[in-house]
Amino acid sequence: MSVDSPPVRRLADWNHDRLVSLAETHGTPLYVLDPERVRENYRRIAAAFPDAHVMYAAKAHTGRAVLSALTAAGVDIECAARGELQRAIDAGADPDSLQYTAVNPPAADLEYAADLASDHPGLTITAGAVDTFDRLAALGYDGRVAMRVNPGIGTGHHEDVATGKDAKFGIPAERVAAVADDLRGRFDLVGVHAHIGSGVLRGDLEDHCRAIARVADLAREAGAEDLEFVDVGGGFGVPYREDEPPLDIAAVGERVRAAVGDLPARLALEPGRFVVADAELILTRVNTVKKAASTVVGVDASLATLVRPAMFGSYHPVRNVSAPDRETAPVSVGGPCCTSADVFCTDRSVARPQRGDLLAIGMAGAYGYELASQFHSQPRPAEVAVDGETDRVVRRRETLEDVTRVERTN
């Protein structure tokens, strides 16, 4: 597909017969990934920012199938941890093209990045604390760095992702100029970086652009004429709810460029959620239907499969793949974990599920498998990539032996 493909992929847009076949072949719960949709979404946002350096924020989904699809298309990767750096390289990324954004980095992470940069001097290390830069200097590192700044403004779908106003992230605004001067004496300062928040939709866009304008001003205070780039992060949202309109990403590009204004440094962005959210779903099988105060539908997926509803109160669409045209009824869908938090939806109108039906949980590509766990000693699910008419297992289903493999018995 081209950049003219639909701006958001809904559950109804997936081939239901194909999903049924996948569940029968590979079992449930099952993550189903469409790598071509990943590429489409990247092309769409890159087209909206034709003069910018658009990377992919690996933390949204570090699966090899995602990273390989993007690196093969020439996309650079932004990494937030040592493991992400290694996984990007394993997927084909050029280490000289990587950007490592350190947030309170463990010693092993910082040492790994500094050592990697000694052989690949194009790698850029971004940090948001003078203490981190001091640790880099103590390691003998004097290469490319970017300074993460805190604009004091945060936006996004939840307060826990409004990073632009969180003191954990970035150099305080009033210290930016002085810290920039200090860094130029010790490193090759090539950029200023900020991440404002995550899941930004139309209602958040004004604040988001106001924060970006503040980041541009801080870059000027840091001496933008001597910088290669000003990185304003990602954060562009995807409408998880069916009645939410998608961002007009071309218009967003115009607004962001206006907010940045005239800067000698190149604009850089690092979308994650926008690229992968609607490119993956979860298939889960109904095992219990119980009439109580409301109809409770039990499935074999759980918060160990997808934790976002429990962690953030996030909305994920749910669709009955087996019988999408059956009459609807308000149902609550939950998994097998022994906690009230293990619920995907409450009193949601869904084509009335019956035991054995296959349900799909949508918008699972961003921070879905990334946050999957082995809670209740549940093996993590398989992941299948569908490319055209073919499908392949890109992550096998864990076994109970996998769950206990790292334990010692004596």
Letter string b/e over residues 351-388, b meaning 16 or more CB atoms within 10 A of that residue's CB? bbbeeebbbbbbbbbbbbbbebeeeeebebbbbbbbee
- Calpha distance 221→233 (Å, rounded): 19
Please check whether residue 322 is in contact with residue 289, taking contact to mean a CB–CB distance below 8 angstroms: no
**Residues 186, 168: Cα–Cα separation, whole Å:** 23
Pairing of strands 382-387, 390-395: antiparallel
Q: Which residue in 209, 337, 338, 345 is the catalytic one? A: 338
DSSP notation for 16-40:
HHHHHHHHHHH-SSEEEE-HHHHHH
Structure tokens at 234: 């990602």
338 is a catalytic site residue = yes
- Give phi and psi for 255, each to the nearest 5: -70, -40
Q: How far apart are the first and last CA of the chain?
A: 55
The catalytic residues are 338
